[in-house]
């Protein structure tokens, strides 16, 4: 894992720029069919990080809601000009975490995947290294994440639970 932070990234036209202040919690290489369809590629490479550890340096991205396998949708932050997706917010933790698209980093080589997920639907011509940590579907967090990431996520948990509770409250 890359250790010199902060690191920066942005869209193709440069209108949306961001800085990741610290290492992400985890880097997922997701091979699910939803990610394949959304990206038009064989997988999505996302660095999950607390939203407050990503600083906006340029214009605000526009957020577009797209369908998701969970049925709750995902919110994708895109450049309003060139439409490149820079990060996503998934329903589980909403606006509190960002899944930064690693390919939008100025140096995407800095964040290789920690884990490959949903490999049951991986394209057959994608070959994973023998030592790659991979799961046919998803995994148990404690079996995969570094302890420092687990601790950071646990510190965020009360906010995530409040966010989830707010979604279930009836609107008057």
- Of 55, 57, 59, which Cα lies nearest the Cα of 15? 59
Q: Which residue has the higher pLDDT, 111 or 73?
A: 111
How many residues does this entry show for the chain? Answer: 172
- Would you state the pLDDT for residue 5? 96
What integer is the mean pLDDT of 80-92? Answer: 93
Sign of the CA dihedral 103, 105, 110, 115?
negative
Q: Going by C-beta distance under 8 Å and a sequence separation of 6 or more, which residues neighbour residue 14?
A: 58
**Average pLDDT over all residues of the chain:** 92
> What are 97-155's pLDDT values in tens digits?
999 999 999 999 999 999 999 999 999 999 999 999 999 999 999 999 999 999 999 99
> What are 13-28's pLDDT values in tens digits?
999 999 999 999 999 9
CA–CA separation, 46 vs 32, rounded Å?
Answer: 13
Task: Please tell me whether the overall predicted TM-score, pTM, comes out greater than 0.75 for this model.
Answer: yes
Structure tokens belonging to residue 84: 């490149």
Question: All domains of the chain, ordered by start, with CATH?
Answer: 7-168 (2.170.150.70)
Main-chain dihedrals φ then ψ at residue 46, nearest 5 degrees: -125, 135
What integer is the mean pLDDT of 67-90? Answer: 87
């Amino acid at each position: 894992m890359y250790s010199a932070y902060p690191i920066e990234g942005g869209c193709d036209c440069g209108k949306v720029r961001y800085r990741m202040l610290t290492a992400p919690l985890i880097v997922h290489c997701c091979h699910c069919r939803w990610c394949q369809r959304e990206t038009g590629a064989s997988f999505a490479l996302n660095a999950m990080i607390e939203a407050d550890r990503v600083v906006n340096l340029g214009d605000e991205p526009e957020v577009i809601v797209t369908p998701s396998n969970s049925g709750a949708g995902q919110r994708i932050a895109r450049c309003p000009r060139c439409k490149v997706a820079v990060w996503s917010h998934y329903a589980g933790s909403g606006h509190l975490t960002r899944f930064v698209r690693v390919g939008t980093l100025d140096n995407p080589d800095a964040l290789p995947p920690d884990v490959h997920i949903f490999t049951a639907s991986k394209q057959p011509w994608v070959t994973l290294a023998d030592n790659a940590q991979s799961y046919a579907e998803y995994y148990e967090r404690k079996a995969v994440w570094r302890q420092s990431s687990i601790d950071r996520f646990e510190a965020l948990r009360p906010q995530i639970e409040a966010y989830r509770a707010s979604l279930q409250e009836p609107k008057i």
